[in-house]
Chains A and B, each alone.
Chain A
Amino acid sequence: MKERLQELKAEALNKVDEAREVQHLKDVRVEYLGKKGPITEVLRSMGKLSKEERPVIGQLANDVREDIAQAIEKKQSALEEAALEKQLEAESIDVTLPGRPVQVGGPHLLTSIVEEIEDLFIGMGFEIKEGPEVETDYYNFEALNLPKGHPARDMQDSFYITEELLLRTHTSPVQARTMGLKNGSEPVKMICPGKVYRRDTDDATHSHQFTQIEGLLVDKHVRMSDLKGVLNTFAKQMFGAEREIRLRPSFFPFTEPSVEMDISCKVCGGTGCSVCKGTGWIEILGAGMVHPNVLEMAGYDPKEYSGFAFGMGPERIAMLKYGVDDIRNFYINDQRFLKQYHKA
């Protein structure tokens, strides 16, 4: 019986080895391990054996079954693997052909710049305030220390609608409006981006509509050194940690002292080149300590409260940062221009 079992095993393993398809293996399984298969037969006829032989043969029969089953399983996974490989080979494609295009849009360059600046100042605890583009003469000029008859508010420079209404010439009226809501007793920490309008003939450096972003901080004990610190933080984050800033005296009716801020030229690093016109510095923004008349008109006591304000043009920043050479590009909306700056 022992010999018979060994024979069956050799036979079965041989068939497994020769199997070329999964079906063949199934046949082998039925043939040798099935209920009517020879091994079962062997087990059934064990009754004829002696008491001593029975467990030995029984053990052997089980081992043979196990070996055959294992061989079948092993072969089966080998065959399946081969079949899969064959199938995948047949599914092969030309990966160098172009993919299906995805329609991707993006933000306008000015929006990117404005949001970058917004986020920077939000990080420093500022809020964002917005206001009307059609302003009253009061908020656009008078509340900002530009009384009627002031040379800086010439009819020729602004788009008036009536004597009392005009398209705002800066976003500063939003500051005046925001301060006015505080009853002269709460701090203000805000920036206000938006569209502004001036009577300029559109050319490479002028646009009758452009963007401004201004900031204001009013509180007790605000110092000019705070302005310098905040602007320095802004400049380094916006233009690079290696940039230096400098303030130099200037004049705005709504601030006193007034300064302009330059940053060191990126192109030459401060030694002087054509970009910075040989000075090593590039003008970025105007700023200053809020004029006491402005604080007073908004209801603050200038003896108790002080503040600083600053303002800049995102167009100019975009032109400096990305080398845009014509301001009209921001408003013509040439697709090639818009797409180019989506990653900005």
Chain B
Amino acid sequence: MLVSLNWLNDYIDVNDYKPEDLAEIITKTGIEVESVNPVAEAAKGIVVGRVVSCEQHPNAEKLSLCQVDIGEGILQIVCGAPNIAEGQKVPVATPGAVLPGNFKINKTKLRGEVSNGMICSLQELGVDEKDVPKEYQEGIYVFPEDVNLGDDAVSLLNLNDIIIELGLTPNRSDCLSMAGVAYEVAAALGREYKLAEEEVETSNEKAEKMVKVEVEDPQANPYYGAFILKDVKVGKSPLWIQNRLTAAGIRPINNVVDITNFVLLEYGQPLHAFDFDRFGSSRVVTRRARSGEKITTLDDQERTLSPDHLIITNGENAHAIAGVMGGAESEVQENTTTILLEAAYFNPANVRQAAKDHGLRSEASTRFEKGVDPNRVERAGIRACELLQQYAGATVLEGPAKFDQLDRSENKVQMNSLKINERLGTEISNEEIAYILERLQFTYESNGDEFLVYAPTRRGDIVLFEDMLEEVARIYGYDNLPFTLPSGAAHAGGLSLEQKLKRGMKAYFEGAGLDETITYSLTSEKQAAMLVSKEVEELTPTPVKLAMPMSEDHSHMRLSILPELLQSISYNSARKQQNIAYYELGTVFISQEEEVTKQPHEMLRASGAVTGEWLAHPWQQEKKVVDFFVVKGIVEGLMKWLDLDVKYTKAKIEGMHPGRTAVVTTAEEEIIGFVGQVHPKVQNELGIKDTFVFDLNAEMLIDIYQKEEAFETIPRFPSVNRDIALVVEDSVPAGHIEKTIYEAGAPLVKQVRVFDVYQGEHLEEGMKSLAYRLLYLDPERTLKDEEVEAAHEQILKEVKDKHNAELRA
């Protein structure tokens, strides 16, 4: 809502406040002021002049040579506007004047002729193009006849006004009117105010004689008033009305339209004027539209209606979509003489639906959607009649003809000052509360601490005690509330074990050299099903799809974090950042239904992607490019941190390198994720180099961790180390041999580590040598050599039997 301070001053004196200070007060008591701006950039030295004569410039076809009387003398001015004519009263920038943009006007010569100034257009005076009346858009502005020569044009055109822009919350639609703003400012300042009082002299003729109002759906349209005005002369509205509209950002059109708009701004009540002769009937029937019914609206669009839309008809055809837009057929035109003026209350929901369906949000629909003040509907109609009588020569018939089932009662709210103070933490006296209610112009009855408040109908938002609590608090001032701390029982806050583990995992990954990322949960249909871990795949999930996605890129909920993580790598790669190490701890969304009916399972996963150089120390000729084992090492480190035994088994996963991918399983053979290289085809599609990833079921990791909490004591007896080097066929996985060693060496073998892998000279083709370091330990006693020897022999026998492994010579 744009509030003109000059206009506001008509109702309440705020001249002694600096606009910024006033804005601050309004913001603190109720409504946020979004901006404070002059209506136009500063201009000075502009006066009213009359074009005494206007001739063609002798040396320029498109210029005119004008003699302009500015009251204290005649100036010769060269003017290029096409609409300049003798006899016009126009804004003249005299030599020394300054136009917006600090444009100084000097005496000059144009094509050989002296020009003592400039005749101005509204745009040149700083008016926004969209607010300039159509007829002046392409040329100079022309004043109405009743202004005086030499008068200051800036104040005549209200260009010295200041506009305060209010950011209204949905509950404060009462301030969608100047009257509402005046109430609010009066309450904020504790000042007197005076609003316009509508009054109109009517003829003896009754509106009812000319028109009957019928309402089919009183729920949707509880009040409809039809005023009839005769002898209307459509023309320009007076300058002051035009100025008010311009300041509020509405373009002046003609007196009838301008006056309905003016009352809309003043009272917050939208009105509509029909050309009664073109309306074509003496019946106004409001009803829900029939399915497929059509109307051509004022903007010359043909629109198809539905029963969701309320329409105004002449008994047969639609002439307006209620509260949204009038029909072209009965539009007020220059030759209109009789007007049917509608002042009505339409149900907010109906108007909202129609405005939405037709994409027509207007000043009118906005106000109906929020609910207009039932006590001002008819009064707004009277106010418009008064102005039309005054400025359009209208004869107003006694009326209106109406349908009226409108509830005009006030909401009653009971409140108790003790409860107010208890809830606010204040000590506001009953007298102060009474004073606040008076400032708000709320009537009330009080008895000691009890107050019964009658909330005015313009404040339909006030229903509950809490609503009144807010009114009292905001006028009392939030600045005046004390600072206290909650008095309830002491409460030990903190993180749950799961939350601690999540933070711990993040710290682990970061310590391991990965940067945390946050990517989008919504992805494309294709990516949603990519790089999905096997244990998720086994649930046969269907990616959850949005009903109305905004784009194909964000249409489905992800089943894996990896695709978006790879997109991030691709983004960086395109920007010459080739060494990336990322992880993310986030949810994926698993629904096992074809058509979703329940909330999907939101599974926490920890995923990472690493590419480029892992380690580079150039002057020492050290450089390590990321490989499978870097990423596996990160996963192993996490498992060690969580104290979990896991196994890695080669596996094929869609989108992953078939020879360089392993699934990770727990000791109980449950799959908890995978680690490996992205398939080169996928890498190529994304334009990324070799990228290694991991994807782990963090939810399961946390679950398992929470179940296993036993700690072992540190052994007191010495352990024994033995190394063995085994020669096996290349195809035998080192992990299998490791497993056999553990099994054969149980219970004494506590740790098996590969410390060398060798192929080449001194070994047969197709063979490899694996060297292991074994750690033997008995936690209860010191081991004897013979015992270790026996176990060692058993191990050698079994690796020979199972894997055909020979002790390396």
Contact = CB atoms under 8 A, between A and B. Distances in A.
Interface stretch (B108-116, B148-156, B546-554): B546-554
A306 B554 CA distance: 40
Nearest to A217: B486
The main secondary structure of chain A at its interface with chain B is mixed
B515 A160 contact: no
A133 B602 contact: yes
B518 A225 contact: no
Nearest to A189: B491
B352 A151 contact: yes
Nearest to A288: B470
A257 B466 contact: yes
Contacts of A159: 522, 546-549
Contacts of A47: none
Interface in B515-555: 515-522, 544-550, 554
A161 B550 contact: no
A289 interface: yes
Given A100-B622, A249-B470, A250-B32, A224 B424 contact: yes
A123 B425 contact: no
Contact of B550 (A132, A201, A229, A256): A201
Given A229-B485, A334-B572, A108 B32 contact: no
B544 A97 contact: no
B57 interface: no
Contacts of A133: 521, 587, 589, 602
Contacts of A333: 517-519, 568, 571-572, 582
A194 to B, nearest CB: 10
A160 B548 contact: yes
A105 B423 contact: no
A28 B487 CA distance: 87
Interface string A128-167: 1000111110000000000001011001000111100101
16 contacts: A101-B615, A103-B513, A103-B615, A105-B512, A108-B518, A126-B493, A136-B599, A217-B486, A226-B486, A228-B425, A247-B478, A260-B32, A289-B469, A331-B518, A334-B575, A338-B515
Q: Which residue, of B35, B424, B470, B492, has the highest number of chain A Cβ atoms within 10 A?
A: B470
A225 B32 contact: no
A195 B496 CA distance: 19
A217 to B, nearest CB: 6
Interface residues of A, number: 88
B490 A105 contact: no
B164 to A, nearest CB: 13
Nearest to B370: A151
Nearest to B474: A249
B484 A223 contact: yes
The 6 closest A-B pairs by CB, nearest first: A225-B425, A103-B513, A251-B169, A257-B470, A223-B425, A247-B478
Contact of B513 (A104, A110, A125, A223): A104
B596 A226 contact: no
B616 A101 contact: yes
A139 to B, nearest CB: 10
A121 B493 contact: yes
Contacts of B559: none
A332 to B, nearest CB: 6
Interface string A26-62: 0000000000000000000000000000000000000
A292 B432 CA distance: 25
A342 B516 CA distance: 9
B120 interface: no
B583 A226 contact: no
B485 A226 contact: yes
B617 A230 contact: no
Contact of B423 (A224, A278, A331): A224
Contacts of B479: 246-247
Given A127-B491, A151-B352, 10 more contacts: A97-B619, A100-B620, A162-B597, A197-B522, A208-B522, A220-B488, A222-B488, A225-B482, A248-B32, A335-B577
Given A199-B550, A225-B424, A162 B596 contact: yes
A256 B413 CA distance: 15
A208 B484 contact: no
Q: Which residue, of A118, A226, A233, A258, has the highest number of chain B Cβ atoms within 10 A?
A: A226
A100 B617 contact: yes
A101 B513 CA distance: 11
B494 interface: yes
Nearest to A339: B515
B600 interface: yes
Given A126-B493, A151-B369, A134 B599 contact: yes
A251 B489 CA distance: 30
B466 A256 contact: yes
A75 interface: no
Given A248-B32, A249-B29, A106 B493 contact: no
A159 to B, nearest CB: 5
A116 interface: no
A332 B599 contact: no
Interface string A229-247: 1101100000000000011
Nearest to A207: B520
A105 B481 contact: no
B483 interface: yes
B503 interface: yes
Contacts of B616: 101
A277 B349 CA distance: 36
Q: Which residue, of A104, A155, A233, A277, has the highest number of chain B Cβ atoms within 10 A?
A: A104
Given A133-B521, A334-B571, A336-B577, A224 B481 contact: yes
